[in-house]
Amino acid sequence: MKKIKVAPFMPTEVEVNEVSENRAEIIAYPFESGYAVTLAHPLRRLILSSSIGYAPISVKIDGAAHEFDNIRGMHEDVAVFIINLKNIHFKIKDESERVEVSYSFTGHKDIIAEDLNNDKIEVVNGDLHLATLNEDAELNFTVVITKGIGYVPSEDLASEVEPDTIPLDAFFTPVRKANYKIEPVLVEDNPNYEKITFDIMTNSQIGPVEAFTNALETMNKQLSVFGGVLDVDINTTPVKRSTDDSEVKPFLQTVDALGLSARSFNSLDRAGIKHLGELVLMNESEIKAIKNLGKKSLDEINECLAEHGYGAEFELSDMIRVNLIKKLEKLKQ
């Protein structure tokens, strides 16, 4: 018989599988039917749009007045140099939101992104080609790198850069992929629960778990506006799952703890019921259906359960119920 609920089932399990340094799977379950997609879709959009990254927003090159110019001794035109520069994934080393870094290269050299590392910034795709210089070449340039989200076109940045500086389209988003899939998952005998698996990959400016955390924080902050309007306390603190089994442990006692008569104990034993938790998880009709359990034994079991505080009015929380089922399954293996 379906129970009447006053609140939706709360998921209890979260798993993080780090596939590589820049890719991870984040799994959560069990959600009631329909809740998984309700949460997964906006989270995916926030992961893609609100993750904080770093990008060069301008470059000043000695001897180049604009992006269609060229530098003596450099194989690439300035336009190609800028395209290569925009593909480099910078990362600011300290908590600064904006840094300005200057570089100087002379003589024959194949410049790669790794050559731009210094005490202010780190390059995470170091083997990317930037430019090729001849023996008589001299290349001096200054790059401004900032922290941000999303995409900002160079036209919008023109007012923020210094004169004789070339503004760049800024691609801040560090997330390269954010997908999710929803699968059915069994809770007790009910198959109508769901599991979300997020698959997140970044460009290594930030990790995939950090990108997911940023999205959660953004969602909580956006929702908090309703708390102020409606005088509702919206909790923005992540729920921490308990790692101890103190709440489950009492139910792992054997049915001996109930002090049943031999007749009642033997009926349960023949039915394979060994632990108190198995009885607590059953409703009265399920206990009544135990094979060879007479009315007297049924009454005795119900009385003993009530004496121990597990009578008809007792109800397990969703979290304890799921954890208890898992523990009992392990004991039976």
Contact, 200 vs 23, CB < 8 A?
A: yes
Residue range 158-168: mean pLDDT, rounded: 84
DSSP class per residue in 53-94:
EEEEEEEEETT-SSTT---TTBSS-HHHHHHHHHTS-EEESS
User: What is the percent of the chain where pLDDT is above 70?
Assistant: 92
Distance between CA 279 and CA 287 in Å, rounded? 7
Least confident span in 204-218, 237-251, 264-278, 296-310: 237-251
Structure-derived torsion over alpha carbons of residues 302, 307, 313, 315, reported in degrees to the nearest 10: -90
DSSP class per residue in 36-63:
HHHHHHHHHHHHHHH--EEEEEEEEETT
Distance between CA 100 and CA 248 in Å, rounded? 57
Residue range 141-170: mean pLDDT, rounded: 89
98 beta partners: 146
Q: Which residues contact 9 (CB under 8 A, 6 or more apart)?
A: 30, 31, 32, 187, 193, 318
Q: Which two tokens stand for residue 43?
A: 């989270």
All domains in the chain, ordered by first residue: 13-51+175-230 (3.30.1360.10), 53-171 (2.170.120.12), 249-332 (1.10.150.20)
Give the pLDDT confidence score for residue 277 in this predicted structure.
85
Q: How confident is the model at residue 238 (pLDDT cuts 50, 70, 90)?
A: very low
The radius of gyration computed from the CA coordinates of the chain, to the nearest angstrom, equals: 31
Residue range 287-304: mean pLDDT, rounded: 85
Residue type (1 letter), 216: L
Contact, 70 vs 166, CB < 8 A?
A: no
Residue type (1 letter), 273: I
Model confidence pLDDT, tens digit, residues 187-216: 878 888 999 999 999 999 999 999 999 999
Model confidence pLDDT, tens digit, residues 68-97: 899 999 999 999 999 999 999 999 998 889
pLDDT of 230 > 70? The answer is no
Q: What angle do CA 147, 151, 155 make, to 5 degrees?
A: 100
Other beta carbons less than 10 A from residue 145's beta carbon: 23
